[in-house]
Amino acid sequence: MSDTKEQGGRACACAGHPDDSGRRSMLSGALALAALAPMAVVSLGASAQAPAPAAGTRSQKPEPGDKLAFMIGPKAGKEVKPADVEIGKPPLLAYPMDPATGKVLISKANLLTVVRLKPADLKPTSARNAADGIVAFSSLCTHYGCPITTLHPSQTQIVCNCHGSVFDAANRGAVTQGPATRRLAMLPLTIKDGALVVSGKFDGPLGPPTT
Ligand code: FES
């Protein structure tokens, strides 16, 4: 089966695609964006106040209780507060942050696209994982792995700019326009003591299908 057929028969606009070198290029692009974070590993002020847990006590994936930290910008490495995520604003890129150590868990697989929708716009599939309208998805496009960085004019969908796939943030990341064929994984959030907190694990596979 050709790649084009695997991706729902939609033609892609990128030069060199869909051969393997194109795929590697896209994945490299996503990695490069992740590497834009101005720190390899960020330890916030909390690290000086709380003892680090023993090695191996947690995975490097997001876990319930984690907070979120800005990936880029003047607040890079700082905690994302609910008020930082505004309706109609471009998606915020973030990583999970261990609340015990302040360590930001930087990896391509942990990059999140976070947006806020009007609660009334959320379908039950997204509402159950939302915190006051704030929803978080794996940023890895399920087509070729580019980061999801753009808000659709509908303000309820998010867009991958590599080849134009659109995902419905109001409906658990469902694909509304290809070439991607698989929804984005959603990371459940809640608000606890005024903080934006992860409340579960990713609810599906990350990134492009491997077969
Ligand atoms: Fe192709 Fe996202 S990587 S649409």
Write out pLDDT tens, residues 63-103.
999 999 999 999 999 999 999 999 999 999 999 999 999 99
Tokens of 41: 């590993």
Q: Which two tokens stand for residue 63?
A: 């876990």
Q: Would residue 7 be called left, alpha or beta, if left means φ above 0 and alpha means ψ between -120 and 50 degrees? A: alpha
Q: Choose one of 24, 149, 162 to mutate for the ligand 1 pocket test, by most ligand atoms within 8 angstroms of C-beta.
A: 162
pTM, 2 dp: 0.77
Q: Does 208 contact ligand 1 (Cβ within 6 A)?
A: no
Confidence band (pLDDT; 50, 70, 90) for 56? low
Which of these, 146, 188, 182, lies nearest to 167 by C-alpha position?
182
Q: Is the pLDDT at 162 greater than 70, yes or no?
A: yes
Rounded Cα distance, 81 and 24, in Å: 35
Decide if pLDDT at 55 tops 80.
no
Ligand 1 centroid distance, CA of 145 (Å): 6
**pLDDT of res. 54:** 53
Q: Tell me if 146 CB under 6 Å of ligand 1.
A: yes
Average pLDDT over residues 134-140: 98
Q: What is the mean pLDDT of the chain?
A: 81
In tens, the pLDDT along 2-42 reads: 333 344 334 444 333 434 444 444 444 444 444 444 333 33
Q: CA 175, CA 98: separation in Å to the nearest integer?
A: 31
Summarised one tens digit per residue, pLDDT across range 114-128 is 999 999 999 999 999
